A and B are shown apart, each in its own frame.
Chain A
Amino acid sequence: IAGITQAPTSQILAAGRRMTLRCTQDMRHNAMYWYRQDLGLGLRLIHYSNTAGTTGKGEVPDGYSVSRANTDDFPLTLASAVPSQTSVYFCASSDQAGANVLTFGAGSRLTVL
């Protein structure tokens, strides 16, 4: 089934540790995104990538980094996790040919202690 795969589904992490959330899509969408979802705040964009080889900062990029080595993969790295990064993280993709519609992964729940 075409879509977005995120891993891990859930993770508990000690503060200060490095963590990479994985995201893979098989729809050949140009653009990919990372959002975090926090209660009462909706979805906030962390980083995005318009196409392979390019990335950009979203609304809340501090403490996170991304890379886009190819079309399918868009990992999100927390270099040194802090408790405020406890959240649910969603990877999404879109294609201009698909008229701006976002397709979301199932999310990764991260708890930083």
Chain B
Amino acid sequence: AQSVTQPDIHITVSEGASLELRCNYSYGATPYLFWYVQSPGQGLQLLLKYFSGDTLVQGIKGFEAEFKRSQSSFNLRKPSVHWSDAAEYFCAVGDVYNFNKFYFGSGTKLNVKP
């Protein structure tokens, strides 16, 4: 069965420090992969997506993610975190055979220390 695991429920980093949020998935083929960000009281906003090609994808707000097929992972990274990055981050898998099927991780809440 398809699933998405975000092993870190909460992460706290200092402003200016680097960030890596982990995401592992279970899927029978290479899926479409997404990272969404949710600020408090808001809906989810797409940060970046991977469909094919270069396994390192760039997104908005200085985020990037790397698809590693051998590890079934799609970790999100940012070299220097800003206080405004404090939010909840969701990894998601899109079914390549059904464009309307998505599987979400349970989210990682990021706190940023001044």
Chain B positions near chain A (C-beta within 8 angstroms):
9, 32, 34, 36, 41-46, 49, 51, 90, 92, 94, 99-100, 102, 104-107
* A90 adjacent to B99 (CB under 8 Å): no
The docked-state distance in angstroms from the alpha carbon of A82 to that of B100 is 28
* A107 adjacent to B43 (CB under 8 Å): yes
Chain A positions near chain B (C-beta within 8 angstroms):
4, 31, 33, 40-43, 45, 48, 50, 90, 92, 94, 96, 99-107
The docked-state distance in angstroms from the alpha carbon of A102 to that of B32 is 12
Interface of chain B, helix or strand or loop or mixed? Answer: strand
The docked-state distance in angstroms from the alpha carbon of A90 to that of B41 is 11
Residues of the A chain whose Cβ atoms lie less than 8 Å from the Cβ of B32: 99-100
25 A-B pairs (CB sep. < 8 Å): A31-B99, A33-B100, A40-B9, A42-B90, A42-B105, A42-B106, A43-B104, A50-B100, A90-B43, A99-B32, A99-B51, A100-B32, A100-B102, A101-B34, A102-B92, A104-B43, A104-B44, A104-B45, A105-B43, A106-B41, A106-B42, A106-B43, A107-B41, A107-B42, A107-B43
